[in-house]
Amino acid sequence: MSDNAGKIWFRAGSNELGQLNATSGAIKRFTMDNSRIPSDKIYSLLESNEGRIWMSSINGLFALNPSTEEFKSYPLPTGQIIGPSFCNPDGKLFFLSKDGYYAYHPDDFISEDLLTIPKILISDFILDDKRIIPGNGSILKEPIWKTKSIDLSHKQNSFAFGMTCIDYHNPSTLQFKYQLQKYESAPREDLQQGLAMYKNVPPGTYLFKIQGADSKGTWNREGVTLQIRIHPPWWSTWWAYVAYSLFAAIAVWAFLQWQTKTLRTRQKMLEQTVADRTAEIFAEQQRSNELLLNILPAEVARELKETGKTKPIHFERVSILFADFKGFTNIAASIPGEKLIEELGDIFTQFDDIMDEVGLEKIQTIGDAYVAAGGLPVPDPDHAKRCVLAAQKMIAYLSVRNETHSIKWVVRVGIHSGPITAGVVGKKKFSYDLFGDTINIAARIESCSEPGRINVSAYSYDLIQHEFPCTYRGKIDAKGKGELDMYFVN
């Protein structure tokens, strides 16, 4: 290119322009410090009216001030410049691009010395891999950098934005941060590429915001924003949801009517089933309670059910009744075992009824021995009296029974009064046991009794002497206990 002074300008290297003085033949080189000419391919060289030399490339414009030997770069927010250029008499510069000619006036460019915050632009809008050109029938009614909002259908949910930052020195070092707010939780960073791409963005209203920094690292934090509204498909609109809700409400109502009718029928059946099952459970519970009461005294059983355990209790005044049968060993040897158990079961069942009648607590049976106690688990001042009454009834019952049965049973009874400790032993097959010397002495008193008679110790005699006539037997040797005063109840 030849300028107005007759000097010839040409590309001298990757970061140099050359100037040839046609008269003297001298060549002068102009070097760009720390940067390169933006493209290996220069489409045009052009001199502006103020004497600057302009270069056009696919990446923008560069200008050289020959007097100061200073280069400046001008990235363009539009398409690539690919053709020749010229300057009209008014000083306006024209450059050919893929989209037509673009005109600039050098005075429109802001001096780098005055620029503190770089200018950010959205340079392109790309939808489904196609660059959108503003115009009639287009989504864009005006250039993208002037557009404030874009409305898209649910199918137009893949798009991209071109970004640029006005930098007069080195456009290859631009930096960008961008974010599609309400879609991305944090901004993304972009170095030099200047392209923000999004795929399959769901319907909604978003705000696209970009920030940029020039080659000096100066950031435009305010940036540029563009509202993106992606409309949902008709089946996701509010009126569609209203229709869905009405249909669902009708369906739910119909279902509830059917379900209510069904539930009423089932409820009646369930109530009957529950009533039957409750009765069964109650009966089972009653049987369990009765079984537990057959094993343990009522107060002890209640404590065991409530706490899962029982505490041993000491009773200071208790009477123990021991009874066994005359000739039991011979009878047991003479009849089958089943018959023996049948006989004992019949007799002991009647003894149990007698204990309930007079208010004694059955303790246990061991073979033919029957043990009961008065005055526990609830203290009773008439404990000795009740034991004598029970013994009399036991003897009377057997006397009557023997009249109609082939096996003649005769019982002997021993009663002793004194302190005792009672409690449940073990955690399986509960047994209410008595502990203390009183129980041992009662056993010895019984062994010293005679068939059909009630033998009592002196301690028991002191408690019943005013209620029952007794005959003093004297001191009788009790095995392991020495001689004890004993009495027969007449």
For residues 319 and 383, the answer to whether their CB atoms sit within 8 Å is yes
Task: Name the phi and psi angles at 425, rounded to 5.
Answer: -110, 135
Q: What is the DSSP letter of 184?
A: B
Query: Worst-scoring range by mean pLDDT, 140-144, 293-297, 307-311, 325-329?
Result: 293-297
pLDDT tens-place string over residues 404-425? 998 999 999 999 999 998 877 6
Which one-letter DSSP state was computed for residue 232? P
Helix axes 238-295, 298-307, angle to 10 degrees: 150
Neighbouring residues of 297: CB distance < 8 A, sequence distance ≥ 6:
361, 376, 377, 432
Model-level pTM? Answer: 0.44
Residue 358 has a pLDDT of 95
- Of 29, 224, 206, nearest to 123 by C-alpha is 224
pLDDT at 395: 95
Q: For residues 225 and 177, give the distance between their C-alpha atoms in angstroms, rounded to a whole number.
A: 12
87-126: buried (b, 16+ CB within 10 Å) or exposed (e) per residue? eeeeebbebbbeeeebebebeeeeeeeebeebebbbbbbb
Distance between CA atoms of residues 183 and 196, nearest Å = 13
- Kindly report, residue by residue over 85-141, the tens digit of the pLDDT: 778 887 788 877 766 777 777 776 645 444 467 888 898 999 988 999 998 889 999
